[in-house]
Chain A
């Protein structure tokens, strides 16, 4: 496939899943009308959900999921060594994700609650960047296929790769939604990075912050606003902790 008369170098991609629901991987195989074109841009050398190839010769490693076992730590380090570019795909890989709820409880209690008598070896949940260097983070629960497509096109054509820096509210207003805060809900849209087309408020529920913090986001102001509307600090913190995507901000608040 040529672009402006030049044959772009196909990106050799490996997709690797860790602790997650594999929903982000599934997103890659979604959007059927452009799937053929999308797959023509890349050479998939390792991707369990679309092919049985198990190649080790990849330039770009897409990492899905958080890291919660010792063997995952090892596998991740090996992938990092082979990959030229390591990309975290989805909220679990970027921030820890829903799985991070585990870190709030005693680890033995967690194991016996989930696995009963079958003891398993497990570690507190970590995000990928806690363990290896990450070159590019694509957040989202799940990731947006359009965003992934745009990023991959930019990578193969050598264009700059950018995520929106502004918050979800911009897209929410563009959708013509009624603000769910006006409907009495907590919404993290004002502090969360846009790019999902305001999926949750469009469905009339508040944003849970799966895409992490927008740039220069004003957490203090949003907290004050939500308090004034009668929401408790516990409810606000619970929301901020949902995806573990604001751990830095929660830490700063002490």
Chain B
């Protein structure tokens, strides 16, 4: 890890160079909602000016650039007497600019699941390895609660991280690739003054968090509150629409589909993002549904995030971005659900 500083003017030159040479994804304003607030999404960009690096948070996460909603895992060809299988997971190098700390931490969690497990996913791995990730800090929104989960700063899983210290960015360089790229622009060693500004910035951002979620002892609270009326209360509101899982940066559940092409000469095996909130997630052959009630389905999403994964993976799977809460029309969000559970016990 090496620290440098770069002026914002040089930074623009640096990023423009990346955009000119690579497929690049960055935050863009795509809409204005009914309250006049901008809506941002990660989209492919062709120039620096198209991005809004001061964006608050994107509506969906960057997850789906690594785990596409629908992905062909293999293709079968049986047009001749025999059959052939093709598996393709090569991807072109690309860059994603302006990723927030919580989102990078979310990718680190996905790495555990999809690379660290017994059966690493070559598809995910290829996308992760071929993505040059430029992270960036930001002022939290009123409902962000990543700080409660210790996910408001990030220490690995990116190539370059930029902290805004006024007219300059304070850079953390985490890969030799980033170091090499930076050779083409003017960067300097941080002065004493830059270091002070960096610490002030971190402290200021941390002090800005308004939403606190009580994580202490949550795993045992969840064990005890398995039959709590809290689940029914929120379950009755739940639309089982899966929006929460679709926008969540860590939900990784999927289904596998096998589809025969219309000509009957080829077929494909595809991975499709799914969610435990959807009605048939726990339906098995013969039609039995292990989670027939809305409250069951909602409850298990919380159990996987804050209990099951926390026990097996040493940390909750949630990074506190509150995308699920913002996307949920029914107003279901981790802060209210967890804080109510904590009050129950």
Q: Which residues of A contact B (CB under 8 A)?
A: 1-5, 8, 34, 37-38, 40-41, 149-150, 153-154, 156-157, 159, 165-167, 169-170, 173-174, 176, 178-179, 181-184, 189-191, 214-218, 220-222, 224-225
Contacts and interface: CB of A to CB of B under 8 A. Distances in A.
Interface in B216-260: 236-243, 246-247, 259-260
Interface string B27-61: 00011011000010101000000000000000110
B240 A41 contact: no
Contact of A34 (B30, B237, B238, B262): B262
Contacts of B241: 166-167, 169-170, 189-190
Nearest to B33: A182
Contact of A166 (B41, B278, B330): B278
B39 A182 contact: yes
A191 B241 CA distance: 8
A8 B264 contact: yes
B280 A215 contact: yes
Interface residues of B, number: 41
A181 B329 CA distance: 8
Contacts of B259: 150, 153
A166 B294 CA distance: 13
19 contacts: A38-B262, A41-B262, A149-B262, A165-B278, A166-B241, A166-B278, A170-B246, A173-B242, A173-B243, A173-B247, A176-B60, A178-B59, A179-B329, A182-B33, A183-B33, A218-B239, A221-B236, A221-B238, A221-B330
Contacts of A1: 263-265
Contacts of A3: 78, 260, 264
A225 B330 contact: yes
B246 A218 contact: no
Contacts of A37: 261-264
A221 B329 CA distance: 9
Given A178-B39, A179-B329, A190 B239 contact: yes
Residue from A38, A40, A221 with most neighbouring chain B CB atoms (10 Å):
A221
A169 B59 CA distance: 14
A115 B327 CA distance: 48
Nearest to A5: B81
A166 B279 contact: yes
B56 to A, nearest CB: 14
Contacts of B246: 169-170, 173-174
A2 B79 CA distance: 9
B275 interface: yes
A75 B108 CA distance: 63
Classify the interface of chain B: helix, strand, loop or mixed. loop
B273 interface: yes
A4 B78 contact: yes
Interface of B: 30-31, 33-34, 39, 41, 43, 59-60, 64, 69-70, 78, 81, 236-243, 246-247, 259-265, 273, 275, 278-280, 294, 327, 329-331
B31 A183 contact: yes
Given A5-B81, A218-B238, A182 B260 contact: no
A165 B41 contact: no
B76 to A, nearest CB: 10
Contact of B242 (A8, A34, A169): A169
Contacts of A190: 239, 241, 329
A173 B251 CA distance: 14
Contacts of A159: 260
A140 to B, nearest CB: 18
A176 B41 contact: yes
Nearest to B34: A184
A157 B265 CA distance: 12
A215 B279 contact: yes
Contacts of B39: 178, 182
Nearest to B258: A159
A174 B59 CA distance: 12
B263 A216 contact: no
A170 B275 contact: yes
A153 B242 contact: no
Contacts of A150: 259
A4 B78 CA distance: 7
B239 A222 contact: yes
A191 B240 CA distance: 9
B238 A166 contact: no
Contacts of A153: 259-262, 264
Given A174-B246, A215-B280, 8 more contacts: A1-B263, A3-B264, A153-B260, A167-B239, A169-B246, A170-B242, A176-B43, A191-B239
Contacts of A183: 31, 33-34
Contact of A167 (B59, B240, B263, B330): B240
Contacts of B247: 173
Contact of B30 (A169, A178, A225): A178
Nearest to A216: B279
Contacts of A176: 41, 43, 60
Contacts of B236: 220-221
Contacts of A41: 262, 264
B242 A221 contact: no
